[in-house]
Amino acid sequence: MASPIIDRLAGAAKKTIGRFTGDGQLTREGDLHVQKANAAEDADRLEQRANELEHQADLAQRERTIEQERRTLQAEEEDERREARAEADRRQAVADAEQTRIRQEQAAAADERRRIQEARAAESAAVVDHAHTETDARTLEAEAEAARRRAEQLTDGG
């Protein structure tokens, strides 16, 4: 296919020769070559514009794709941050529960020690009380024995 410049030059030459020689057919061929050159230039311009539009469409699509990927990455990063926060919260809850369990065990052990001390104190008090009661009982038995002896003496001697 000839370039539009060659078609335009050939058309101009044929038109000029056709007019000069009075050959209408050659003049029409010259006009057709010029029209062909104009159509080829129009086609080239349209093709160039189509390529530009296609390039712009490609760029716009790439921009949309990049923006979507950016949003996807942001969402993934936010998910990872949320998961990390949830994991940290879970670990903190486990640690808090462990601390609560330890405090409860310590409180239970302290309560057990206090009850044991109270039981020992009560036992010691009971032993002391028992000793006093036995002393009192012996004293009363001795007094009763002395009273029996006096009563016997009074019965015997009197």
pLDDT digits (tens, 9 = 90+) for 29-81: 999 999 999 999 999 999 999 999 999 999 999 999 999 999 999 999 999 99
Residues 46 and 49: their CA atoms lie apart, in Å, by 5
Binning pLDDT at 50, 70 and 90, where does residue 158 land?
low
What pLDDT was estimated at residue 4? 85
Per-residue tokens: 11: 């058309």
CA angle 101, 106, 107 (to 5 degrees): 95
* Phi and psi torsions of 19, nearest 5°: -70, -40
What pLDDT, on the 0 to 100 scale, is given for residue 54? 96
Res 143 pLDDT > 90: yes
Per-residue pLDDT, 1: 59
- What is the token pair recorded at 140? 């009363």
Both tokens assigned to 152: 């016997």
> For residue 154, what pLDDT band results from cuts at 50, 70 and 90?
confident
The reported pLDDT for the residue numbered 3 is: 86
Task: Report if pTM > 0.85.
Answer: no
Each residue of 71-125: pLDDT tens digit?
Answer: 999 999 999 999 999 999 999 999 999 999 999 999 999 999 999 999 999 999 9
More confident residue, 158 or 69: 69
The predicted model gives 128-133 an average pLDDT of 94
Residue 150: per-residue pLDDT: 92
Residue of 68, 75, 46 lying closest to 60 (CA atoms)? 68
Report the pLDDT averaged over residues 142-151. 92
